[in-house]
Amino acid sequence: MAVKVKIPVPLQRLTQGKDEVEGESGTVIELINALDRKYPGLGERISDGGKIRRFVNVYVNEEDIRFLKSENTEVKDGDEVSIVPAIAGGCFL
Amino acid sequence: MEDTMSLVKALKCRECEREYPLEPIYVCEFCFGPLEVAYDYDRIKKTMTREKIETRPQNLWRYRELLPIEGEPSDALYTGFTPLIKADNLARFIGIKELYIKDDSVSHPTLSFKDRVVAVALAKAREFKFNTVACASTGNLAHSVSAQGAKAGFKRFIFIPATLEYSKIIASLVYEPNLIAVDGNYDEVNRLCSEVANKYKWAFVNINIRPFYAEGSKTHGFEIIEQLGWRTPDNIVVPCASGSLMTKIWKSFKEMNIIGLIDGIKTKVFAAQATGCSPIITAIKKDIDVIKPVKPDTVAKSLAIGNPADGFYATQVVKESGGFGEDVSDTEIIECIKLLARTEGIFTETAGGVTLASAIKLKKQGYIKEDSSTVLCITGNGLKTQEALHGHTMQPYHIKPNLLSFEEALKKIEGTKG
């Protein structure tokens, strides 16, 4: 059993069309770096200099990692990680 | 006719600075950051002068070199150039030497600063050859798209939560848009609109037209500078919902400085929110960059955005300018709506109460100095949110239709005044 990682549509071109891939346990940033080795280019779309990009939301088991330990949040086998682009300008009042 | 076409360079990602052509797009394909309009300031510097601006009609297009439109504006010819009012009565009350109200509560045609952003959005929608404009809104934006879209001849789709107050629905319906009352809460309306925007070739003013739309807010700042005699104030207090207005006012000051129409910027920018929805103020007070979303619970509904799109950038403006922020209770908001009305004769909506109440707090705390020039941004009209004042105003004196009854009432009135 590995970490389940959900890939958003705009990044699925880099994962050969897969909407879910398997990742390794460790911190979130380690997980992303490992995914980048498997799917080159994925890492720089999600992170920059070891930090998650501001308009990319990462959830571990549906909790936003900014309210956990951000990039250093630990993920273990069986956890589910979702990568969701924040829609910039997504406020409508 | 002046050639302004080449003054706008491109759309540029605010995060990774990748450039995109001037199209109805709003998100960076690479890093998902928001796109922003980039201008050729070197060329603008050569053509835009104070004198040229001052000879133009008093509407928001007088700054059009710094707006993302091409050619001559054909609509919204009465929008913008709202009064900057020297508020001496209020100044004495708060204890600030030089106080001004930038009064968008009298904006044409729908009495809020949204007329500015919608004017630019619709000009752009026409350029892009859309025949339908749309938005999701609970208030001011819906009214402005409905009204300006009617005048400019667009088909209009306005999405609202079905539970919205009747008075707000009427203020859109009178312009006869297609008003879609969605059986769902606000978040559900938003989500639906994103899907609709993907499927239909419509100009959603605050989705696919957003980079252009947001630029309209700069005119609020340009006008303050011009009306102050080509200078920036020491302090400006701005209400925050998405944080976009504050970000764009700061951009307007910087642009005026870059092109040399003012001699430096000395302004501290202060953010104002209701305590019941204050994600931006929370980040400012804790001095952190992360905006933690909240579930809004405040009388200031026009500011009730729990997850503000430009919240991060708003915190950066405060930091860069050396300002701060304050949040205020519903009671303080209502008290300050009344204070502005009885001192300056201006009836503002709840957002204006937030701005004034925050300014008073910031003055008491010493962030705003007595010996300073301060501008309060009043962004909407109180006639739209009258329900907020129910039970909080004074009562009329009921009398019989005869002189005796009137004089009895008069005695009471004079009695209460001592």
pLDDT score recorded for residue A86 = 79
Residue B403 CB partners (closer than 8 Å, separation 6+) = none
Instruction: Pick the residue from chain B with its C-alpha nearest to A56.
Output: B32
Q: Are residues B250 and B299 in the same domain?
A: yes
Give the residue from B163, B182, B208 where a domain finishes: B208
Instruction: Pick the residue from chain A with its C-alpha nearest to B35.
Output: A88
pLDDT score recorded for residue A92 = 38
Q: A27 near A52, Cβ under 8 Å?
A: no
Put simply, whether A86 touches B (Cβ < 8 Å) is yes
Residue B278 CB partners (closer than 8 Å, separation 6+) = B294, B327
Q: B202 near B133, Cβ under 8 Å?
A: yes
d(Cα B303, Cα B113) in Å, to the nearest integer?
13
Q: B233 near B249, Cβ under 8 Å?
A: no
Indicate the residue of B26, B190, B305 with minimum beta-carbon distance to A88: B26
Q: Which of B232, B210, B234 is nearest to B221 (CA)?
A: B232
Q: What confidence tens digit (pLDDT) does each residue in A11-56 have?
A: 999 999 999 999 999 999 999 999 999 999 999 999 999 999 999 9
Q: What percent of chain B has pLDDT over 70?
A: 98
The residue whose two tokens read 């309306």 is: B189
Q: Are residues B296 and B365 in the same domain?
A: yes
Residue B417 CB partners (closer than 8 Å, separation 6+) = none
Q: Which of A93, A64, A44, A74 is nearest to B304 (CA)?
A: A93
pLDDT at A90 over 90: no
DSSP B77: T
Q: Which of B353, B361, B348 is nearest to B334 (CA)?
A: B353
Q: Are residues B201 and B106 in the same domain?
A: no
Put simply, whether A45 touches B (Cβ < 8 Å) is yes
d(Cα A82, Cα B7) in Å, to the nearest integer?
41
Q: Are residues B176 and B308 in the same domain?
A: no
Q: What confidence tens digit (pLDDT) does each residue in B368-397 have?
A: 999 999 999 999 999 998 999 999 999 999
Terminus-to-terminus CA distance in chain A, angstroms?
44
Hey, are the CB atoms on B206 and A56 less than 8 Å from each other?
A: no
d(Cα B248, Cα B243) in Å, to the nearest integer?
9
d(Cα B257, Cα B270) in Å, to the nearest integer?
20
Q: How many domains does chain B contain in total?
A: 3
Instruction: Grade residue B100 by pLDDT with cuts at 50, 70 and 90.
Output: very high
pLDDT score recorded for residue B198 = 84
pLDDT at B162 over 90: no
The residue whose two tokens read 């050396």 is: B322
Residue B409 lies in a domain: no
Residue B396 CB partners (closer than 8 Å, separation 6+) = none
Residue B184 lies in a domain: yes
pLDDT score recorded for residue B3 = 52
pLDDT at B232 over 70: yes
Put simply, whether A9 touches B (Cβ < 8 Å) is no
Indicate the residue of B28, B33, B305 with minimum beta-carbon distance to A93: B305
Q: Are residues B345 and B197 in the same domain?
A: no
Q: B121 near B144, Cβ under 8 Å?
A: no
Q: Are residues B225 and B141 in the same domain?
A: no
- In this predicted model, which residue has the larger pLDDT, A93 or B130? B130
Instruction: Pick the residue from chain B with its C-alpha nearest to A93.
Output: B137
- Distance from the Cα of B310 to chain A's closest Cα (Å) equals 7
DSSP B417: H
Q: Which of B323, B109, B125, B128 is nearest to B237 (CA)?
A: B323
Sheet holding B235-239, edge to edge: B84-86, B98-103, B373-378, B235-239, B268-274, B325-328
Hey, are the CB atoms on A93 and B214 less than 8 Å from each other?
A: no
Give the residue from B161, B185, B208 where a domain finishes: B208
Residue B69 lies in a domain: no
Cis peptide before B109 (omega within 30 of 0): yes
Q: Residue B191's domain is classified under what CATH number?
A: 3.40.50.1100
Q: B311 near A91, Cβ under 8 Å?
A: no
Instruction: Pick the residue from chain A with its C-alpha nearest to B307.
Output: A91
Q: Are residues B141 and B100 in the same domain?
A: no
- In this predicted model, which residue has the larger pLDDT, B81 or A89? B81
Q: B221 near B245, Cβ under 8 Å?
A: no
B195 contacts on A by Cβ (under 8 Å): none
Q: Are residues B230 and B185 in the same domain?
A: no
pLDDT at B243 over 60: yes
Hey, are the CB atoms on A54 and B312 less than 8 Å from each other?
A: yes
What's the full length of chain B, in residues?
418
Q: Are residues B47 and B165 in the same domain?
A: no
Q: What is the average pLDDT score of chain B?
A: 94
Helices in B15-68 by DSSP H: which ranges? 41-47, 50-55
Residue B79 lies in a domain: no
Put simply, whether A69 touches B (Cβ < 8 Å) is no
The residue whose two tokens read 């339908």 is: B132
Q: Are residues B157 and B233 in the same domain?
A: no
Burial group, residue B246, by CB count within 10 angstroms (0-12, 13-18, 19+): buried
Partnered with residue B181 across adjacent β-strands are: B160
Hey, are the CB atoms on B35 and A54 less than 8 Å from each other?
A: no
Indicate the residue of B15, B26, B139 with minimum beta-carbon distance to A54: B15
Residue B76 lies in a domain: no
Strand B178-182 and strand A56-60: the pairing is unpaired
Give the residue from B208, B233, B268 where a domain finishes: B208
Residue B28, φ and ψ in degrees, nearest 5: -70, 125
Residue B387 CB partners (closer than 8 Å, separation 6+) = B165, B167
pLDDT score recorded for residue B417 = 64
Q: What confidence tens digit (pLDDT) does each residue in B272-323 have?
A: 999 999 999 999 999 998 888 888 899 998 898 888 889 999 999 999 999 9
Hey, are the CB atoms on A88 and B290 less than 8 Å from each other?
A: no
- Let me know the angle formed at the C-alpha of B193 by B219 and B141, rounded to the nearest 5 degrees: 30
A54 contacts on B by Cβ (under 8 Å): 15, 33, 312
d(Cα B238, Cα B351) in Å, to the nearest integer?
10
Q: Which domain holds residue B192?
A: 129-208
Q: Could you tell me the fold of the domain covering A3-85?
A: Ubiquitin-like (UB roll) (3.10.20)
pLDDT at A89 over 90: no
Q: B100 near B85, Cβ under 8 Å?
A: yes
Instruction: Pick the residue from chain B with its C-alpha nearest to A88.
Output: B34
Indicate the residue of A53, A54, A91 with minimum beta-carbon distance to B308: A91
DSSP-based three-state secondary structure for B148: helix
Q: Which of A89, A92, A56 is nearest to B305 (CA)?
A: A92
pLDDT at B103 over 60: yes
Least confident of A58-67, B256-265, B387-396: A58-67
Partnered with residue B277 across adjacent β-strands are: B274
Q: Are residues B148 and B251 in the same domain?
A: no
Helices in B128-243 by DSSP H: which ranges? 140-152, 166-173, 186-199, 210-215, 218-227
Least confident of A23-27, A84-88, B369-373, B401-405: A84-88
* Mutation choice for B interface testing from A14, A46, A56, A92 by most B CBs within 10 A: A92
Q: Are residues B266 and B385 in the same domain?
A: yes
